[in-house]
């Protein structure tokens, strides 16, 4: 049989496959991402279509007390392996149809990838290109002096001196949660955002609690403290980490759920929510998050001043930071390095050109907030 006729025979089984229409999702997704480079369109989409989709999806996944996304991930991995084995087996058993079987399997894979890509685009991809939180909230992000950074670090230390005395400690003098359960912590995170919405109306409500990840220890091996799962609109939190960092992580992931995908903005919004909370645990977590970023930035600019300010920290804060360092040290290795590389590539692919370094840009927002407070006090 001539090759053209043979090739036509291979493609014949796909002729009536309705699933081929799923491939249209890929160019549609690319078109939407190109359109979202216009930040006005991306902002409109984040406020209205995404706002509707995310509340509906979060409501449905919120009907379950566990992370639906985590369970679907496990099911997907197992199902994928089973289908792969079936496909490979069919290739070897159906020798006469081998090219057709291979082609059909590849088409099925492309259809699934197209649908996932479209879902990702609609559920969070477009939001990466929305207007910055600084623009929509009126914060003046501009170059700052070393003295401004020093004042920021000193003010954060003063806040920590007050709030650290209000949290509970374990037998080693490290902070433990005073809230009765992870469910209670999740409810407090949601309440914190309800209060924050009065100051920043774009941080709308209508969302459920963040959810703990069952395999939190595995997330730590990957150097991950939380995940926004866009396919089920869930904020997922690693609850194996030191207790003082969990509230800030919860609020960080809830910021993603509200359509703010940039990591520096999610950190800053998480800090804002924590500091507006009625819970000392949350306020402590938020101020600790801000201090670590701010003092690390100061250490790069003025090591002597950063060391002086760090020495002024309450001893309880130093114990918590030491506990945190010891916790993460046990996970150093190739898994962490691979995970960081993947995360770096993911952030760059979604327009965060600094990759993992974009986490440090939260300091610019902290300085902008300080500048605003100082201006209002005059």
CB burial string 75-93: b at 16+ within 10 A, e below: eeeeeeeeeeeebeeeeee
Query: How far apart (Å, rounded) are the C-alpha atoms in residues 150 and 152?
Result: 5
Q: Report residue 359's pLDDT band, with 50, 70 and 90 as the boundaries.
A: very low
The answer to whether 225 and 245 have CB atoms below 8 angstroms apart is: yes
Query: Same domain, yes or no, for 180 and 203?
Result: yes
Are 339 and 233 part of one and the same domain? Answer: yes
Percent above pLDDT 70 for the chain: 88
Dihedral pair phi/psi, residue 292, rounded to 5° = -60, -45
Based on the domain organization, do 145 and 107 belong to the same domain? Answer: no
Mean pLDDT of 223-244: 96
CB 127 within 8 A of CB 256: no
Tally the domains of the chain: 2
Region of residue 351 (phi > 0: left; psi between -120 and 50: alpha; otherwise: beta): left
363 and 251 in one domain? yes
pLDDT in tens, 304-322: 999 999 999 999 999 999 9
Per residue in 336-358, pLDDT (tens digit) is 455 455 444 544 555 555 543 43
Kindly state whether residues 37 and 154 are assigned to the same domain: no
Are the C-beta atoms of residues 282 and 317 closer than 8 Å to each other?
no
Segment 60-102, tens digit of pLDDT: 999 999 999 999 999 999 999 999 999 999 988 887 778 888 8
For the stretch 252-299, pLDDT in tens is 999 999 999 999 999 999 999 999 999 999 999 999 999 999 999 999
Same structural domain for residues 205 and 316? yes
**Are 97 and 195 part of one and the same domain?**
no
Q: What pLDDT score was predicted for residue 14?
A: 52
Which of 86, 110, 129 terminates a domain? The answer is: 129
Are both 170 and 123 inside the same structural domain?
Answer: no
The pLDDT of 2-26, averaged and rounded, is: 62
Position of tokens 């902008």? 368
Looking at residue 342, what is its pLDDT? 46
Report pLDDT for 351: 56
Choose the weakest-confidence range: 20-24, 87-91, 95-99, 246-250. 95-99
* Token duo for residue 37: 């480079």
- What DSSP assignment string belongs to 104-170? HHHHHHHHHHHHHHHHHIIIIIGGGGSPPHHHHHT-------HHHHHHHHHHHHHHHHHHGGGSEE-
- pLDDT of 341: 54
Our measurement of the distance from residue 60's CA atom to the centroid of its chain's CA atoms, rounded to an integer in Å, reads 20
- Mean pLDDT computed over 139-159: 91
Q: What is the rounded CA–CA span in Å between residue 194 and residue 206?
A: 9
Considering the domain architecture, whether residues 244 and 359 belong to the same structural domain is answered as: yes
Verify that 71 and 193 share a domain, yes or no: no
Find, among 171, 217, 143, 213, the residue nearest to 323 by Cα. Answer: 171
Percent of the chain as helix, strand, coil, to the nearest 5:
70, 5, 25
Range of the domain at 31: 3-129
The per-residue DSSP string of 209-262 comes to --EE-TTHHHHHHTT-SEEEETTTTEEEE--SS-GGGHHHHHHHHHHHHTT---
Please give the Cα distance from 23 to 21 (Å, whole number). Answer: 5
The answer on pLDDT for 365 being more than 80 is yes
Least confident of 127-141, 204-218, 235-249, 340-354: 340-354
Residue that finishes a domain, picked among 102, 129, 156: 129
Whether residues 105 and 229 share a domain: the answer is no
pLDDT of residue 266: 95
Residue 126 to residue 377: CA distance in whole angstroms: 38
Instruction: Specify whether 148 is located in the same domain as 263.
Output: yes
Give residue 95's pLDDT: 74
pLDDT digits (tens, 9 = 90+) for 275-285: 999 999 999 99
Buried b (16+ CB within 10 A) or exposed e, 124-157: bbbbbbbebbbebbebebeebeeeebbebbebbb
Average pLDDT, the chain: 88
CB atoms within 10 A of CB 361: 20
Q: Which of 66, 98, 129 is the last residue of a domain?
A: 129
């Amino acid at each position: 049989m001539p090759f053209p006729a043979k090739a036509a025979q291979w493609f014949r089984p796909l002729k009536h496959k309705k699933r081929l229409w799923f491939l249209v999702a890929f160019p549609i997704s690319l078109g939407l991402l190109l359109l979202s480079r216009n930040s006005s369109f991306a902002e409109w989409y984040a406020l209205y279509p995404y706002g509707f989709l995310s509340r509906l999806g979060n409501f449905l996944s919120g009907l379950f007390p566990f992370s639906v996304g985590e369970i679907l991930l496990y099911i997907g991995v197992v199902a994928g392996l089973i289908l792969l084995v079936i496909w490979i087996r069919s290739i070897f058993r159906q020798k006469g149809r081998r090219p057709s079987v291979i082609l059909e399997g590849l088409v099925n894979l492309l259809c699934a990838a197209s649908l996932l890509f479209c879902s990702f685009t609609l559920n969070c991809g477009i939001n990466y290109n929305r207007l910055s939180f600084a623009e929509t909230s009126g914060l003046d992000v501009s170059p700052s002096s070393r003295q401004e950074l020093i004042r920021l670090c000193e003010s954060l230390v003063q806040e920590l001196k007050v709030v650290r005395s209000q949290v509970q400690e374990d037998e080693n003098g490290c902070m433990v949660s005073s809230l009765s359960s992870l469910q209670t912590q999740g409810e407090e995170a949601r309440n914190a955002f309800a209060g924050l919405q009065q100051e920043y109306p774009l941080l709308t409500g209508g969302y459920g609690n963040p959810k703990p990840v069952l395999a939190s220890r595995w997330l730590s091996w990957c150097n991950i403290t939380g995940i926004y799962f866009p396919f089920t609109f869930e904020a997922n939190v690693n609850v194996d980490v030191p207790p003082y960092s969990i509230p800030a992580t919860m609020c960080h992931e809830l910021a993603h759920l509200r359509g703010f995908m940039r990591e520096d903005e999610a950190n800053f919004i998480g800090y804002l929510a924590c500091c507006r909370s009625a819970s000392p645990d949350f306020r402590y977590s938020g101020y600790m998050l801000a201090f670590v970023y701010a003092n690390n930035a100061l250490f790069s600019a003025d090591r002597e001043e950063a060391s002086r300010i760090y020495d002024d920290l309450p001893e309880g804060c130093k114990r918590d930071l030491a506990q945190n360092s010891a916790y993460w040290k046990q996970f150093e290795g190739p898994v962490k390095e691979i995970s960081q590389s993947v995360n770096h590539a993911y952030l760059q692919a979604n327009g965060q050109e600094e990759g993992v370094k974009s986490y440090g840009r939260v300091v610019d927002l902290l300085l902008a907030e300080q500048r605003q407070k100082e201006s209002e006090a005059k």
